[in-house]
Structure formats: C-alpha cells, structure tokens
C-alpha cells in the first residue's frame, strides 16, 4: 500500500540557517529598546529589551571568564520562573554552550538522573533550590554549581551579579552550516509513561519553529483578524518546551512584554490580567478548568482577553466551550479558545489554528504548520490509514517530519532508533505516539496516546474523552481515567479517578459516586462505561505542564488493589 503524505497548506518558509541568539536579538519587528520585556509579577522589577541584550552579553563574558564555560559545555538550568532565567539561558547559548532546562519540581534523585543523562558540566541554580542541586550533583559530571540570583558571598559568583558587573562582550556565533546539527537545548520529555529522555533541540529546530509559529499564528488571516501581542502572563514553566519557546524566545521576537510568575497563583494571575491587559492567554487544561469553576474569576476585570490558547495536554471540547462561555459572559463579546499541538520533539509547535479559521476551533488542534509533513500510520500493521467517505482518515499514529523535528535523544541511541521510522527511500519520520485523524480540509484531531488507549473487549476507549465528560459533571473538580486488566474477564476495564468539589464533599460519597455513574452512562457508548469503578481521591497527579501522570495513577490503583486482596475484584 503506498504511503499517504499530508502537507501543510501554507507555502514553505525560507528557513534561515542562523544561531538562535543572533536571530532573537535581530529585532525583526523593530521593538523599541526601552520597552519592558520581562516584569516580575510579584516585585515589579523589570528588564527592558536593551537590558536583556546588555545583560546577556555581560553574563556570557562572565561565564566564560569566571567559570571557564566552553563551547558545547552542557549547563543545567534549575530555577522557577524568574526574570533572570531568560538572560542566563541566552548567555549560555550565546557562549555556544548547551542549556539543559530542568524542572524546579524535581527531587534530588530525579535531577541526578537528568544530570547523568545530559552530562552537565555546570549547574546554574536559583537560591531556593541550592540544596537540591548540591544533593543531585553528587556522583555526576558536574564540576561547579553557580547561583542564578543574588549577590556574591564567600568569594562565589552569581549570574545576576555577573550580568551587572562584567563588561559586555560579543556573543559567540556558529557557522550557519552547523545550525541544523548544533544542539542549543537538551529539553527533557515529560516522562508521563516512562523515564524522561533528553531531547536534542538544535539552533535550526528553534529558529524554524519561531518562523513557523509567526507565520501560522501571528501573520495568518486578514489584518482585521490578527491581533497585537503586547503583553503575556507567564506561569508556564520556562523549563518546559512550551514556556521556553513561547516566553524565552517567541515573545522576544515579537517584542511582547512578559509578566513572569514564579509559580501559579490564581489571584496573582487574575490580577496580572487586570493590570497588564493581555489580548491572549496561554494556558494548560488544569488552569482552563480552574478558570471555568473558580468563583474568584468574576472578581477581576478580564475584559481584555479575546483569545485563549491551550497546549501541552489534551483540552476537551466540553472544557473549551465552557471556557469560551465564561469569558463571553465576562467580556460581553466573543472569545475564542483554541488548542495547539506539538511535542518536545517538534520544538514544539506542529499544528494550530490560523486566524481566519476560528470556525474550525472545536474540531481538534488545527492544521499542519508550514514546512511540515504528516502521515497517519496504523501502529500494528505499519500501513497508512484508510480514508473514510467524508475524506477523513481512520485513527492512526501521527508521523511527522520538518525542520523543527529534532535529531533524537541525548546519549540515548536506543530511544532515538525507536522513535524514528526510515522509509526505503531514506525519508525519516518521527513517530509521535499520538493517535489522531485528519479531515478533508487538513485539520487534525488528537484522540490519545497509543500507550494510554484502553481496549475493552477489543473496542477502543479514549481516556481523555471520558475525562472531559467527567469534569463536565457539576460535582467533579478534576478527573483521570486509566485501564485495569482483569484476568477473569480477559480484558481491560476503564477506571475513573475523580476529585470532588467542595459541595459534593458535604454529601454521602456513595450517593455522589452512584449519581456520577448514572449520569455518565447516559452520555457514553456501552463499551466506554467505567466498569472498573469510580475512585475518589484528593488530587490528580500531574506534571508541571498539566499532563496527567498516568503511571502514578496506575501505581495508585495497583496499591489499592493489593490492599483489597484477597477480596473479590470487579
């Protein structure tokens, strides 16, 4: 069977071969140098565009002179969001180093594993996480730990101080011919279904995705359909590819003022929207859910918001629609909520909605970004998916290729080999692990991850679909669905984990759960019923980017079943 390749409907962009920091500081949109680019949401401290350029050059000089940073050295960056973060990031890359952004939520043991994977020579760490870094660095290749913030003590140096005191120096560039091969980041995958892997993101991966994002989202549609991105509220972790690309890189290109939140706090977030009046919000599904259900939302002036973009984890149509209705009530005008799709391995954007196709926004995750190609391949037969009478494909694994698709995984040839398929003609495709479809207009819908799909008596059950239904119930605050294998039935049974809201907690739990079962059964096909039961818990385990940590949920389920043995099981 011949392969079927779906291409972007947009003309190919002329992807520039250039190093990342030179591209970021080229100022293509003529941003005024005195415009504030990074503002601390709590203290109000700010850096202008001019400050960012000067402090990056000074810090790059300081790192090279004071700690001996050399080209290709890997520097782990461990910090919550702070206005010092982008400067440290660009200073390392501008020294021809490689940044390994690491989540501030990691334990010392988890960080130790990532340091061993990246083989980092240095760690730049926020003062609040210094002890974690010290413990994690033991037995690794780390030679020195440098504080990101504060003033020097005991003869030590800090990045904040070096950026203020060292002379500016020219940043080190790369040969343009090396842009497609030279790493700039080692971004760790979320590891929702297994150990996190270090993804090799090159200069060209990032610069191409910056151009794709701009063409697809900023410049698509007619002038009246576009909007200015004058300000953005950043709570998404800078260590995650979504926050790294959008706030550390993309907003710099756009000249967008980024209000930096060190951690998510709903009142601070809402207060920042009221004060800085962004046109668009960038969120993840747990925050979207909070905006729909928390009463505090009505206490703030959020009338500037016209667009809400969700990414990093699946957003259900039910939640998207509810969020639009909430903001329409606030603003007395139409507010569009869209979902974009991508992965760490696509740097990250691979599909989104152009400004002139908001009518398609509830169909999935948009159309294919410029310069990209997709295939939809049955993971069992390795044959391209068949097409239905309406022009849409059968659900299948999405394979993709393009200049934003990474080379592979750092120091992990086995994982790299498993993640890519090479055709007989040598064409290399990244296997995303996501099950999706594409319609006759080229718009993509994501169904779920291959590893997360539940099979009940051979029929597919999509966890994210059931989670969307459950969170639509008035008693449910949050939900997760996993499969439980039952030998006696020789099949998996879907099991629901739910977090009840305050009102529901005041009632008898069995009555509440039975009511949710009855309510859900009326809304789903017979094979999708939660035959494994509904379990009430206090919190759904999630990654910092909002993805449900299903392996942790499954471990919880295993522990519960073990406690029940030798009692009869469902």
DSSP letters for 268-285: HHHHHHHHH--SEEEE-H
Q: How far apart are the first and last CA of the chain?
A: 43
Q: d(Cα 269, Cα 203) in Å, to the nearest integer?
A: 32
CA 548 to each of CA 312, 435, 449: distance values in angstroms, whole numbers, following the listed order: 11, 17, 12
Coil, strand or helix: which one is 467? Answer: helix
Residue pair 490/458 in contact by the 8 Å Cβ criterion: no
Q: d(Cα 107, Cα 124) in Å, to the nearest integer?
A: 16
Burial class (CB in 10 A: 0-12, 13-18, 19+), 503: exposed
Taking Cα atoms as reference points, which of 113, 138, 137 lies closest to residue 124? Answer: 137
Q: Residue 514's CB: how many other CB atoms inside 10 A?
A: 12
Q: d(Cα 322, Cα 319) in Å, to the nearest integer?
A: 5
CA 47 to each of CA 23, 44, 53, 254, 288: distance values in angstroms, whole numbers, following the listed order: 19, 10, 10, 16, 29
Q: d(Cα 548, Cα 206) in Å, to the nearest integer?
A: 26
What secondary structure does DSSP assign to 191-208, as a single string? -SSS---EEEEEHHHHHH
Looking only at the bridges linking them, the beta strands covering 491-500 and 534-536 are parallel
77: left (phi over 0), alpha (psi -120 to 50) or beta: beta
Query: How much is the pLDDT for 195?
Result: 64
The pTM of this model reads: 0.87
| 63, two tokens | 């790192």
Residue pair 468/459 in contact by the 8 Å Cβ criterion: no
Burial class (CB in 10 A: 0-12, 13-18, 19+), 525: exposed
Q: d(Cα 93, Cα 114) in Å, to the nearest integer?
A: 19
Residue pair 556/537 in contact by the 8 Å Cβ criterion: yes
Q: d(Cα 142, Cα 115) in Å, to the nearest integer?
A: 8
Cis peptide upstream of residue 566 (ω within 30 degrees of 0): yes
Taking Cα atoms as reference points, which of 1, 4, 3 lies closest to residue 392? Answer: 4
- The tens-digit pLDDT sequence of the chain (570 residues) is 689 999 999 999 999 899 999 999 999 999 999 999 999 999 999 999 999 999 999 999 999 999 999 999 999 999 999 999 999 999 999 999 999 999 998 899 989 999 999 999 999 999 999 999 999 999 999 999 999 999 888 878 999 999 999 999 999 999 999 999 999 999 998 544 456 799 999 999 999 999 999 999 989 999 989 888 899 999 999 999 999 999 999 999 999 999 999 999 999 999 999 999 999 999 988 899 899 989 999 999 999 999 999 998 788 888 999 999 999 999 899 999 999 999 999 999 999 999 999 999 999 999 999 999 999 999 889 999 999 999 999 999 999 999 999 999 999 999 999 999 999 999 999 999 999 999 999 999 998 888 888 888 877 788 988 998 999 999 999 999 999 988 888 888 999 999 999 999 999 999 999 999 999 999 988 889 999 999 999 999 998 778 899 889 999 999 998 887 644 333
Query: How much is the pLDDT for 448?
Result: 80
Query: How much is the pLDDT for 90?
Result: 98
List, in sequence order, every residue forming a beta bridge with 352; answer none if it has no partner.
Answer: 367
Looking only at the bridges linking them, the beta strands covering 396-401 and 420-422 are unpaired
Q: Residue 549's CB: how many other CB atoms inside 10 A?
A: 17
Query: How much is the pLDDT for 194?
Result: 52
Task: Return all residues near 195 (Cβ < 8 A) that are at least 6 apart.
Answer: 113
Query: How much is the pLDDT for 566?
Result: 47
Coil, strand or helix: which one is 123? Answer: strand
Query: How much is the pLDDT for 531?
Result: 95
Host H or E run for residue 331:
helix 317-331
Q: d(Cα 170, Cα 386) in Å, to the nearest integer?
A: 55
| 153, two tokens | 């003590």
Q: d(Cα 29, Cα 307) in Å, to the nearest integer?
A: 22
Taking Cα atoms as reference points, which of 248, 296, 293, 250 lies closest to residue 274? Answer: 296
CA 114 to each of CA 74, 109, 117, 192: distance values in angstroms, whole numbers, following the listed order: 12, 9, 5, 15
Taking Cα atoms as reference points, which of 273, 350, 275 lies closest to residue 307? Answer: 273
List, in sequence order, every residue forming a beta bridge with 398; answer none if it has no partner.
Answer: 376
Query: How much is the pLDDT for 490?
Result: 81
CA 262 to each of CA 40, 47, 85, 255, 271: distance values in angstroms, whole numbers, following the listed order: 8, 16, 11, 21, 15
């Amino acid at each position: 069977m011949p392969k079927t390749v779906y291409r972007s409907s947009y003309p190919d962009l002329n992807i520039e071969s250039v190093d990342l920091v030179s591209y970021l500081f080229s100022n293509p949109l003529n941003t005024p140098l005195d415009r504030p680019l990074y503002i601390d949401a709590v203290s109000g401290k700010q850096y202008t565009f001019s400050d960012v350029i000067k402090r990056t050059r000074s810090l790059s000089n300081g790192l090279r002179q004071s700690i001996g940073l050399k080209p290709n050295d890997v520097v782990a960056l461990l910090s919550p969001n702070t206005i010092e973060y982008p400067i440290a990031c660009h200073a390392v890359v501008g020294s021809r180093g490689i940044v390994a952004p690491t989540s501030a939520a990691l334990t010392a043991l988890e960080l130790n594993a990532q340091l061993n994977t990246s083989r980092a020579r240095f760690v730049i760490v926020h003062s609040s996480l210094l002890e974690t870094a010290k413990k994690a660095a033991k037995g690794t290749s780390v030679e020195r730990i440098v504080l990101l913030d504060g003033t020097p003590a005991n003869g030590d140096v800090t990045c904040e101080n070096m950026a203020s005191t060292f002379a500016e120096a020219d940043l080190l560039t790369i040969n343009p011919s090396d842009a497609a091969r030279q790493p700039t980041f080692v971004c760790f995958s979320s590891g929702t279904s297994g150990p996190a892997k270090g993804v090799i993101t090159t200069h060209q991966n990032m610069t191409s995705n910056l151009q794709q994002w701009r063409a697809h989202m900023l410049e698509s549609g007619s002038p009246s359909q576009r909007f200015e991105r004058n300000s953005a509220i950043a709570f998404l972790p800078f260590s995650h590819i979504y926050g790294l690309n959008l706030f550390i890189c993309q907003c710099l290109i756009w000249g967008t003022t980024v209000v930096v939140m060190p951690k998510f706090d709903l009142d601070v977030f809402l207060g920042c929207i009221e004060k800085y009046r962004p046109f668009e919000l960038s969120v993840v599904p747990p925050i979207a859910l909070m905006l729909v259900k928390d009463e505090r939302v009505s206490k703030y002036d959020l009338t500037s918001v016209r667009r809400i973009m969700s990414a990093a984890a699946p957003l259900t149509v039910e939640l998207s629609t509810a969020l639009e209705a909430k903001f329409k009530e606030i603003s007395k005008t139409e507010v569009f909520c869209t979902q974009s799709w991508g992965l760490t391995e696509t740097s990250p954007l691979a599909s989104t909605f152009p400004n002139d196709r908001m009518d398609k926004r509830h169909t999935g995750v948009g159309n294919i970004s410029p310069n990209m190609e997709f295939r939809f391949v049955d993971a069992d037969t390795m044959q391209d998916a068949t097409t239905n009478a309406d022009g849409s494909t059968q659900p299948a694994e999405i394979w993709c290729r393009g200049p934003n698709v990474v080379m592979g995984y750092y120091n992990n040839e086995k994982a790299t080999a498993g993640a890519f398929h090479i055709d007989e003609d040598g064409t290399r495709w990244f296997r995303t692990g996501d099950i999706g479809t594409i319609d006759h207009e080229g718009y993509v819908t994501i169904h779920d991850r291959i590893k997360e799909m539940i099979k009940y008596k051979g029929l597919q059950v999509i966890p994210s679909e059931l989670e969307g239904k459950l969170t639509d119930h008035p008693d449910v605050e949050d939900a997760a669905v996993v499969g439980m294998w039952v030998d006696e039935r020789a099949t998996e049974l879907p099991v629901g984990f739910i977090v009840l809201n305050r009102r529901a907690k005041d009632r008898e739990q069995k009555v509440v759960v039975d009511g949710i079962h009855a309510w859900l059964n009326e809304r789903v096909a017979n094979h999708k019923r939660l035959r494994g039961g509904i379990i009430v818990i206090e919190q759904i385990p999630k990654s910092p980017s909002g993805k449900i940590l299903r392996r942790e949920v499954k471990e919880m389920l295993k522990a519960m079943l073990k406690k029940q043995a030798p009692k009869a099981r469902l």
